[in-house]
Amino acid sequence: MALIVQPTEIEIEKASNYLKQGNLVAFPTETVYGLGADALNEEAVKKIFQYKDRPLNDPVIVHVEKYSQVQDLINLTEKESKFYKHLTQNFWPGPLTIVAKATSKVPDIITAKSGFVGIRSPSHKVAHDLLKVSQLPIAAPSANRFGHVSPTTAQHVFEDLGKYPITILDGGSTVVGIESTVMKLQEINGKIQLTFLRKGAISPENIKESIKNIPEFNDIVEINVVQRVVDLKKKEEEQKAKENENENENQNENQNENENEVSPGLHITHYAPDKETYLILNIDLKQDLKTDSNINPNINLKNYSNINSNYEKKFTFSETVLIDFKSQFLDIKDKFFAYSDLSPNGDVEESSVNLYSLLRWSETFPQTKVVILPEITQFFKNLTKNQKIPSILDALADRMFRASSGKTAFLDLHNYFVCVFSKLENLKEN
C-alpha cells in the first residue's frame, strides 16, 4: 500500500533511505510527479516498469541534482560536451531533458538498449531536496499507470499506483503541469543536431534565443522537430491488428520497433484519458485576442447547418463533459452534463497547469459518454506582431491532441449535439 507523506526533512531522509534500499519513491517535479528509483540499481528500475505496467522498450529519464553528476552517465564528443554544458547553464534546473550518448555505467533498462540516456535536473524544491540528500541519480517516468494521464498531485499518484509499496512525497500541485521537453543532442558531420522528441515548456525558440549571440554555437547547431502526422486510417488498422488475437507476434514487434525509431513515448494515444475524447473544431475566432473578452459563442461558431447529413455518431450535450477554454461555452454550460474551463480568461500557462487534473476529473462521470476539448491553437491564429505566444502553447496543444488521439468533432449548437464523423480529415500537428 502506498503512503502519502509531507516532504519534511525527516521524511525526505526516510525517502532517500527507502530509495537506497531499492524501493520506489514518487515525488513532485515542476512538470508532473515522477515515480523514482535509484537509476544505477537495475532491480529497482525494473519495479518502475512493473508497477506502471510499462513496456520495456520505453526508456526512462534520469534526474540529477546538478550538472557535475552527469559526467559518469554520458560519453560525449568535445562539441557535444560544450553544448550540453551550455544547455544546462541556461535551462537547468528546469523542464529540459537532454538525450545524449550513454556510458556503459547506465543500465540497459534505462536506455531501452538505445545507447542514449535522457537526463534532466528538476527545479522543484522537493525533487531537488531528495536528489541532494540521496546523492543518487534518480530514474523517474511520470508516476501514472502506463498510457494514463500524468499525475500533477500526490492524490493522482495514489489513484493510479496506490496498491504498491511506494512512498509519495506530497508537494501539492505541480506548477508547469505538462511533462518536460525531450531533446536529443548529437554531433553529426561536425554539426550539433538537436532533435525535439517531445514538446514541453522549453521550445525550439527558447534554444535558438539562447545561442543567437554565440557564433560558436549559432553556426553549427541544427534544430529538428519530430513531426507527427496522424494517419487515422493507419491507427484504426493498428487497433484492429492489436485486437486480433491471431496476429503474429513478429509483426507487432516490428511495429514497436518503428515507433522506437522516433521515441517510444511519442505514441499518439500516450496521454489518453479513459473516455472517448474529441477536439472541437468549429470554434472560429476572428477577433483580436485583446478585444474579445465578451465573446458570444453563437456568433463565433460557424453555422454548420448541413452537419446532420454525414456524421457517423452523435452524442447529446447531456451525455458530454466539456472542458472549455476562455469561457467560450459558458453561456450554455448547463446543457452539458459537466462543464469546466482550462482557463476562463484564456491563459495558456494556467491551462497547462489544469489540463491533466481536468482530464482526470472528466473520467469521474460514469453517466457520460464523451469528453470534448477545444482545439486550442485556433485561438492564436490571428495575433498581431507584438502579441507573444507563450512558449508552452505548442506543448499544450500537443497534449490535447494526444488526449483525443487527434479525433475531432463538431458541435451542433441548434440541437445540442456533438457530431463525430467517420471520414475525418487527417490532422497535422503544427
Binding residues for Mg ion, rule: CB under 5 A, are 142
Residue found under cell 508537494? 171
Binding mask 25-64 for ligand TXA (x = CB under 6 A): ----x-xx-x-----------------------xxxx---
Residue 60 or 166: which CB sits closer to ligand TXA? Answer: 60
Per rule CB under 6 A, is residue 404 in the interface with ligand TXA?
no
Per rule CB under 6 A, is residue 197 in the interface with ligand TXA?
yes
Instruction: Tell me whether residue 33 is annotated as binding.
Output: no
* Minimum separation from the CB atom of position 418 to ligand TXA (A): 30
Instruction: Tell me whether residue 180 is annotated as binding.
Output: yes
Quick one: what does residue 86 bind among ligand TXA, Mg ion, none, with the CB cut-off 5 to 8 Å set by partner type? Answer: none
Quick one: what does residue 41 bind among ligand TXA, Mg ion, none, with the CB cut-off 5 to 8 Å set by partner type? Answer: none
Quick one: what does residue 355 bind among Mg ion, ligand TXA, none, with the CB cut-off 5 to 8 Å set by partner type? Answer: none
Q: What is the largest CA-CA distance in the chain?
A: 65
Quick one: what does residue 38 bind among Mg ion, ligand TXA, none, with the CB cut-off 5 to 8 Å set by partner type? Answer: none
Residue 290 CB burial class (10 angstroms; 0-12, 13-18, ≥19): exposed
3-state secondary structure of 405: coil
Q: Which helix (H) or strand (E) holds 36?
A: strand 33-38
Q: What single-letter DSSP state applies at residue 142?
A: B
388: number of Cβ within 10 Å: 7
- Between vectors from CA 93 to CA 91 and to CA 99, what angle results, nearest 5°? 65
116 contact partners, CB below 8 Å, separation of at least 6: 59, 99, 100, 101, 102, 184
Instruction: Tell me whether residue 120 is annotated as binding.
Output: yes
Q: What single-letter DSSP state applies at residue 169?
A: E
Sign of the dihedral defined by the CA atoms of residues 217, 394, 426, 379, in that order = negative
Per rule CB under 6 A, is residue 84 in the interface with ligand TXA?
no
Sign of the dihedral defined by the CA atoms of residues 394, 427, 60, 184, in that order = negative
Residue 295 or 392: which CB sits closer to ligand TXA? Answer: 392
Instruction: Tell me whether residue 150 is annotated as binding.
Output: yes
* Contact criterion met (CB below 8 Å) for 358 and 159: no
The residue ranges that bind ligand TXA (CB under 6 A) are 29, 31-32, 34, 58-61, 95, 97, 99, 111, 114, 116-118, 122, 140-142, 179-180, 182, 197-198, 263-265
Residues annotated within the binding site for ATP are 54, 63, 150, 198, 271
Residues annotated within the binding site for L-threonine are 31, 120, 140, 142, 180
